């Protein structure tokens, strides 16, 4: 079986030092990456926690409402519980798309520059 990949490089790379990491951390480019991450992750985290706590509080204090049968043996509590899982997967999918479109290119540019490729 033939390999099409070139052989691994024997050249030793110089790893960035603490000064380079500090310089990158203080750069506008890194600040923009951090802002992009935070502007997406923080509101979604707060929203999901509020949604989860609403489910827990309704389960504890609104038993009559949560026990309301919607159809057959399916009640409001069951639907809310399933929606918790659906919301989790939706947020993970949405974050994956956001990271691929907005975060990964910026992070890759910083990484390339740090490794001396730019």
- pLDDT tens digit string along 5-42? 666 666 666 777 788 888 888 889 989 999 999 999 99
| Beta bridge partner(s), residue 74 | 71
* Under 8 Å between Cβ of 29 and 109: yes
Q: What is the DSSP secondary structure assignment for residue 17, as one 8-state letter?
A: -
Q: Is 0.75 surpassed by the pTM of this model?
A: no
Distance of CA 36 to the CA centre of its chain: 11
Sequence-distant (≥ 6) Cβ neighbours of residue 36 within 8 angstroms: 102, 103, 106
Rounded-to-integer distance, Cα 8 and Cα 12, Å: 11
Tracing tokens 């991450």 back to the chain, one arrives at: 37
């Amino acid at each position: 079986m033939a390999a099409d990949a070139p052989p691994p490089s024997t050249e030793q790379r110089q790893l960035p030092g603490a000064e380079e990491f500090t310089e990158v951390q203080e750069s506008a480019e890194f600040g923009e990456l951090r802002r992009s991450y935070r502007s997406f992750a923080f509101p979604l985290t707060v929203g999901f926690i509020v949604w989860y706590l609403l489910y827990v509080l309704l389960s504890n204090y609104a038993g009559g409402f949560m026990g309301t049968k919607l159809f057959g043996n399916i009640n409001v509590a069951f639907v809310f519980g399933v929606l918790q899982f659906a919301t989790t997967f939706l947020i993970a999918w949405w974050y994956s798309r956001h990271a691929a479109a907005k975060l990964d290119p910026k992070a890759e540019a910083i990484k390339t520059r740090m490794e001396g490729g730019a």
